[in-house]
Structure 1
């Protein structure tokens, strides 16, 4: 296959819908953990890292919530408690509302 073709579906990269389909199939869990000194961290887990670009998603979420964060394994960790708005922001990004639970 040429470099302009998706290795999964065989469509050209600009027409590829693999990531959109993968977003609808993810079972995402959002929770808030307390760390040292009472700091809260929002943990978003349940992603399949082979189908979703977690670093790009992390960058998007950090800019949306104006906070710091990181990717650890198949989870995205954001500094602070962002539980209230996380579902709507993930839905804006294309994830299915039924697959996101708090």
Structure 2
């Protein structure tokens, strides 16, 4: 078999729906914090790193928003105030808009 079998759902890797199910179930909190010297940081919390690749999502966000950022623990931090645009990008990636606050 080319892709193998997903250990979570038991389906072939090509048909695996684990990540889509995880996206629908997560409650994501997007907030803006102020740091030193008045700098703003957008923090995305509530993502489960076992179901979703945070590094990949962070790289996607940083590329689309043209900003720097990092993954710290279970959250993604982006430089600047991107609260509204982050919500749009998360919905484009398949996250439920009702679960994003």
Please give the TM-score of this superposition, normalised by the length of structure 1. 0.94
Residues of 1 paired with 2:11 and 2:93: CA distance?
22
Number of aligned residues: 100
Residues of 2 paired with 1:6 and 1:84: CA distance?
34
Runs of 4+ displaced beyond 2 Å: none
What SS does structure 2 have at the residue aligned with 1:76? strand
Q: CA deviation at 1:51?
A: 0.7
> Where does residue 49 of structure 1 map in the other structure?
49
Residues of 1 paired with 2:82 and 2:4: CA distance?
38
What SS does structure 2 have at the residue aligned with 1:23? helix
> Where does residue 89 of structure 2 map in the other structure?
89
Q: CA deviation at 1:40?
A: 0.5
Unaligned segments of structure 1, at least 5 residues: none
RMSD (Å) for aligned C-alpha atoms: 1.2
Unaligned segments of structure 2, at least 5 residues: none
Q: CA deviation at 1:52?
A: 0.8
Instruction: Give yes or no for contact 2:3–2:14 (8 Å, CA) kept in 1.
Output: no
> Where does residue 26 of structure 2 map in the other structure?
26
> Where does residue 36 of structure 1 map in the other structure?
36
Residues of 2 paired with 1:3 and 1:57: CA distance?
22
